[in-house]
Each structure stands twice: as C-alpha cells, then as structure tokens.
Amino acid sequence: MTRHALVTGGGSGIGAATARALSAAGWRVSVAGRRPAPLEATLATLAGPRGIAATLDVTDEASVTAAVAAVEAVAPVDLLVNNAGAAASAPFQRTTPALFHEMIAVNLTGTFLVTRAILPGMVARGRGRVVNVASTAGLVGYPYVSAYVAAKHGVVGLTRALALEVARRGVTVNAVCPGFTDTPLIDASVATIAEKTGRDADAARAELARSNPQGRLVSPEEVAATVVWLASDAASAINGQAIAVAGGEVMTG
C-alpha cells in the first residue's frame, strides 16, 4: 500500500526537497502552502504517485481544516511534515509585538494547527509519523532573531510533549533542526546582512557558512534525507527527538 505524506511549505527550499525525496522513496506526496504556482511546480517534479497541491494559511484554523480535508480525500495522511515557516530579524528592542506574534503564528501555531487536524486520524489507525522542521534556533540562541528563536524553541517543546502523549498509539513525533541551509530563506538573510553591513552577497553568505564547523551551508537535500529516515520503519523507535542537521554546529545529548 502506498503511504501518503503531506508536506507544508512544499513550494520551495526544504519543503520541495523533502517532497521529492519522499516521492523517490515511494510515498504519495501532497504539498501545501500559500501560493499555488510553486506547489504545482513541486508536484510536477515528483517521480512517484502524486497527491494534490493544497492552498492554505497555516495560521488560520478554517483554512487548515479545509486543506486537510481536501488532502485526506485523496488518502489518509500517514506522514505530516510541518515545514511551513518564516524568519524575520530585528534587534530585540525593535521587535514589535506584531512581528513577535507573526513569528509565533507562522512557526509554532501553524505547526500546532496542522498537527491537530491530522493527528486524530493517525491515532485512530494506530500508525503515523509527524516530523516538525524546526531549526538549530530551537536548540540554542541567536542574536537579532529573538522572536524566531522563541517560536522554534516552542516547536521543539511541542514535539517532545506530543511524542510522549502518542508514544503508545503507533505514532512518532520528531523534529529536524537544520542549521543555515541553502534555501530562499537564506537568500533573504544574505540580502539583509549585505544591506546592513555593506558587504557583498558572497561575503555575507560566507559569514553564515562559517557557523558550520564544516565551513558550508547545509543542503535542502540533506535535511530531506533526515526526514525520509524518520518516516521509515527503521526509525520506529525514534520519538521525541530534535535532530540537528548542522555539520556539528549544535551537538545534542
């Protein structure tokens, strides 16, 4: 039986790479996000059975409910990859309540809402995987991104708590915590660094890469491979973990 995965934020970066990797591993993959065109473009690259491209706003419960219903009309969801997210930077004193709430809503509340819509079916069937794409920012602190760091710490905490609740229900819940990854999100960070420091884009990108002991950015495909492993039967005993994919920048224990 072909298993069905839903990847939020599936139109680019880690989400698109994860959709492709799951498809190559034999999963039927549906993708969800705010913009239809990138989602359809991702679906067109999939090698295996395709689900649908569902438009949703992860911060809006009604939107999530409608999108999940459309996805599960194709087939029950066996794997949920909560990848949708956003990162905004500002010194703490310039972090407005609106910015703070936006980061919490997109990164943490969105993970909560989509999981809440999918999880009952997994529990009822006695099987399922939830993989939350967090960040090394969910494990340590970084300056000038306090709202993002707070949200991603929340994702890791939610992962750990929920993993214990469903541990005997055939469902596992884990988080993948990438370091600086070569995605459009990093392109935005590079542009911000260049603008504020006067460095060119190559120098700004090199600065981010230096945080990784391997001296490079992580690739989206490396993060995707970790998700595929967590979704496999071989990882059935892995539960409640926050796995850093960061070249040794953050070591968990």
- Given a cut of 70, the residues of the chain with pLDDT beneath it are 188-197, 253
Q: In this predicted structure, what is the pLDDT of residue 195?
A: 67
Is 85:175 a contact under the CB 8 Å cutoff? no
pTM for the predicted model, two decimal places: 0.93
pLDDT given for residue 32 in this prediction: 98
Amino acid 210: pLDDT: 83
User: Active-site residues: which are they?
Assistant: 148
Residue 13 CA to residue 183 CA, distance in Å, equals 5
Q: Which residue has the tokens 């009309």?
A: 73
CATH superfamily of the 4-179+218-245 domain: NAD(P)-binding Rossmann-like Domain (3.40.50.720)
Q: How confident is the model at residue 253, as a pLDDT?
A: 67
Q: What is the pLDDT of residue 156?
A: 98
SS3 of the chain = CCCEEEEECCCCHHHHHHHHHHHHCCCEEEEEECCHHHHHHHHHCCCCCEEEEEECCCCCHHHHHHHHHHHHHHCCCCEEEECCCCCCCECHHHCCHHHHHHHHHHHHHHHHHHHHHHHHHHHHHCCEEEEEECCHHHCCCCCCEHHHHHHHHHHHHHHHHHHHHCCCCCEEEEEEEECCECCHHHHHHHHHHHHHHCCCHHHHHHHHHCCCCCCCCECHHHHHHHHHHHHCHHHCCCCCCEEEECCCCCCCC
Return the closest-CA partner of residue 241 out of 122, 170, 159: 159
- For 170-224, the pLDDT digits (tens) are 999 999 999 988 887 777 666 666 666 677 777 777 777 788 888 888 999 999 9
| pLDDT for 196 | 66
Six-digit token pair at 32?
A: 């969800």
Which residue ranges make up each domain of the chain? 4-179+218-245, 180-217
pLDDT of residue 203: 74
